[in-house]
Structure 1
């Protein structure tokens, strides 16, 4: 193979492979961003329900207790560099049954992706819910 043919073959290979490599890189970065948001949401909700389960409340302090648990979840979500608070919803509730208090924390976070992951567009809604029995 002559030098000119090798150069031409290398140019064709670059023209084919470079767009493919760039696409794979962007896809990987988008997937990593989704995983990062999932892990952060999971950790935030788990820590919030844990905090709510380890703090006692009375009927008079219930609102403050709930606000404290929800704020703990929000604070952890704010550690994400591209966190958008308008796309985040959180709810912490406590239910009592048979002298046992169960704390339930639910959160949803909507993120924008570059690729259509769910088949319904580039907006992806992540949701997490944890339950924990309150420690007395």
Structure 2
């Protein structure tokens, strides 16, 4: 008889005793009828391998959709950022124009300075090309009831040609402010 060394645990002592008794039965020794556990383990291992293959197929199906969504989000973010920059540049030009009114003698220096203010505000946009920026400055009347109108437009190009969206869009904003001085 085999001595079990499980101290203090009655369940492990019983398991040791049962295992020792099964080893000593002559019929189980000769026919090798002890239960094998690797049949159950191989089925679970096969199920895990099959599930791993299914996950790879699902990932292959979903990956292109995720890439298109990521590219669309990036293009939309760039468009929104450029649109906000065009709006801010238009406001900066009109803000300068409403504080510094001009007349026929100072119109050239006013136009140059106002366009410089627009370009300065717009220069934070990545990939900014000043030759593509269009600025139109007009005066509607004279001070004290006059207004300054600044129209800014800039072309936006998408990174990906989407097919259903034009690849080049002109973003335009116009700001009109009253002359303060």
More strand by share: 1
**Structure 2, unaligned stretches of length 5 or more?**
1-43
Q: Which residue of 47, 50, 55 maps to 2:100?
A: 55
**Structure 1, unaligned stretches of length 5 or more?**
none
Q: Secondary structure at the match of 2:71?
A: helix
CA deviation after TM superposition for structure 1 residue 117, in Å: 8.1
Contact 1:118 1:124 in 2 (8 A): no
Q: For 2:122 and 2:164, locate their aligned partners in 1 and report how far apart those are by CA, in whole Å.
A: 23
Q: Secondary structure at the match of 1:59?
A: coil
Q: Which residue of 80, 87, 104 maps to 1:35?
A: 80
Contact 1:42 1:128 in 2 (8 A): yes
Q: Secondary structure at the match of 1:94?
A: strand
Contact 1:94 1:102 in 2 (8 A): yes
Greater relative contact order: 1 or 2 (C-alpha under 8 angstroms, separation 6 or more)?
A: 1
Contact 1:30 1:115 in 2 (8 A): no
- TM-score, normalised with respect to structure 2: 0.69
CA deviation after TM superposition for structure 1 residue 97, in Å: 6.1
Larger Cα-atom Rg: 2
Q: Secondary structure at the match of 2:146?
A: strand
Q: For 1:116 and 1:99, locate their aligned partners in 2 and report how far apart those are by CA, in whole Å.
A: 49
56-65 vs 11-20, which moves further: 56-65
Alpha-carbon RMSD across the aligned residues, in angstroms, is: 1.9
Contact 2:101 2:143 in 1 (8 A): no
Alignment partner, residue 46 of structure 1:
91
Distance 1:7 1:33, change over 3 A: same
- TM-score, normalised with respect to structure 1: 0.90
More helix by share: 2
Contact 2:152 2:172 in 1 (8 A): yes
Q: Secondary structure at the match of 2:103?
A: coil
Q: Secondary structure at the match of 2:171?
A: strand
- How many equivalent pairs are there? 135
